[in-house]
Amino acid sequence: MRASVGDRLLVHGRTVGRHDRRAEVIEVLGPDGTPPFRVRFEDGHEALMSPGPDTVVRHLTEEA
């Protein structure tokens, strides 16, 4: 998985009743755009994240 600053991550809920979460990549800490990523979720909290198979990258160029 590769991402750049400004890309969005969509984290799918894993269990029934758990909603998808969206986050913006604010820093890429791995080499060549690989994880871990520092992200900011919609509620404003930030986290260090190494996304799993339940996560999709929405590249900034795809949203334009």
pLDDT above 70 for 64 = no
Write out the H or E segment, with its range, that includes residue 61. Answer: helix 60-63
Q: How confident is the model over 3-59, as pLDDT tens digits?
A: 999 999 999 987 788 889 999 999 999 999 999 999 999 999 999 999 999 999 999
Partners of 28 in the beta sheet?
37
Alpha-carbon distances, residue 6 vs 2, 13, 14, 15, 35 (angstroms): 12, 22, 25, 28, 14
User: Which residue, 29, 26, 24, 28, is CA-closest to 8?
Assistant: 24
Paired tokens of 13:
């809920």
pTM of the prediction? 0.85
Distance CA 17, CA 34 (A): 30
Delimit the domains of the chain by residue range. Answer: 8-58
